[in-house]
Amino acid sequence: MSGAKRMRWQPVAQGAAVTQLELFFDLVVVFALTKVTDLAAEDTSAVNMLRALLVLAVMWWVWIAYSWLGNVVRADEGLARVAMFTAMGAAFIAALTIPEAFHDLPGGWSGPLVFALAYLVARLVHLGMFWLASAQDAQLRAQVIRWGLGSITIGTALLVVAATTTGAVQIGLWIAAVVGDMAWTLFSGNGWRVNSAKHFSERYGLIVIVALGESIVSIGIGVAALPISWPITVGSLLGLAISGLLWWAYFDVAALSVEHALAAAAGERRIKIARNCYTYLHFPMIAGVIALSLGLKKVLYYVGDSSHHRLTDALHGIPLFALYGGVALFLIGLVGGKAYATGQVTVSRVVAIVVLLALIPPAAALPALAALAILCAVLLLLIVWETVRFAAPRDEIRHGEHHS
């Protein structure tokens, strides 16, 4: 590669790892996830849950755009470094504006419009960088043009229009923007590039850790102004255990199985695994963890604030559904991703999903702390069962020829 091209960008090599700049980029995502959780916790109505989900989807689309770019050109070299910092700035402004994404606060600029324009900047920078990176790759250049024409038009223009509206029309435009962008990306072709399966899988594993970290932060925020007590201690440890068990469910075998399938695949099959298992099926995982974070935040407030709640008070409604449904959604993403990549359906996890959803009605009649303990027990039983029942294949996946 010539010195001039090296100054502009540097291709990602097979076997490359995540760069430090990409980790730095994720700090903005950490902040965005916190703001989404705060938005959901502010008003636990169905409409506001939909708003929080839509905002999360938009921020997710920012993140996944740069996960693909960072697998084609090194994020910390040449123009890509400038693009990453520019995108960080735009994403950070969008995250700051999340509380105003639908309702403009008095004074200052229009919050919905600032959010939409910041999102537009992040997307245009990404598209411009992919355009440059595909200069010597006709297939990738055609894919970028095909995708960009529809995705930018649908995903960003509709949000700008939505910023000028309110109520049902505004939400409808948001839904059209998110669903339209995701659908266009799905059907716009398979001419993308995945240069390093290791980098790609590691990138998504790190964002799962970021999301799980948000669930732990939510525990602390839920009791930040309350004196320590045994209910807070027990509730906090149960919440931490649930986050840890979800980490185990993802990283112990499932993530490795999908990574191996991605590394072994070639051509369009590799692109489909990367897109379907990671870009799409990781979204319900992230959404599930955010829902769990909301539930944990409410549970810890219930058990810690004796001036407003008793220990016998039950968690009910949307917070309870978020607590159990969030974990179920995480497992659905895991089962779906592994099934698509490997053709194997993890029956024990399907059973766990059904059990969790079936437990929501009876859990509504139990004290919030008891409901949390039951959730933790179901996950613990699942992990223990899988670890013992599938000891041999688990050892092969973790320590077999893939790691020799």
For residues 144 and 138, the answer to whether their CB atoms sit within 8 Å is no
Q: The tokens 């839509």 sit on which residue? A: 54
Q: For residues 71 and 22, what is the distance between their CA atoms, to the nearest angstrom? A: 11
Query: What value does the CA radius of gyration of the chain take, rounded to a whole number of Å?
Result: 22
Residue 10: partners with Cβ closer than 8 Å, 6 or more residues away? 1, 73, 74, 77, 78, 80
Closest alpha carbon to 238 in 389, 38, 384, 380:
380
Q: What is the DSSP string of 69-82?
A: HTTTB-TTSHHHHH
The pLDDT tens digits along the chain (404 residues) read: 445 455 577 899 998 999 999 999 999 999 999 999 999 999 999 999 999 999 999 999 999 999 999 999 999 999 999 999 999 999 999 999 999 999 999 999 999 999 999 999 999 999 999 999 999 999 999 999 999 999 888 989 999 999 999 999 999 999 999 999 999 999 999 999 999 999 999 999 999 999 999 999 888 877 877 888 999 999 999 999 999 999 999 999 999 999 999 999 999 999 999 999 999 999 999 999 999 999 999 999 888 877 777 888 999 999 999 999 999 999 999 999 999 999 999 999 999 999 999 999 999 999 999 999 999 999 999 999 999 998 888 888 888 755 44
What are the DSSP calls for 108-162, one per residue?
SS-HHHHHHHHHHHHHHHHHHHHHHHTTT-HHHHHHHHHHHHHHHHHHTHHHHHH
The Cα 131–Cα 79 span in angstroms is: 12
β partners of residue 73: 11
Q: Quick one: which of 205, 318, 195 has its CA closest to 255?
A: 205
- Name the residue among 392, 400, 381, 218 with its Cα closest to residue 291: 218
Going from the C-alpha of 252 to that of each of 270, 346, 390, the distances in angstroms are 22, 14, 12
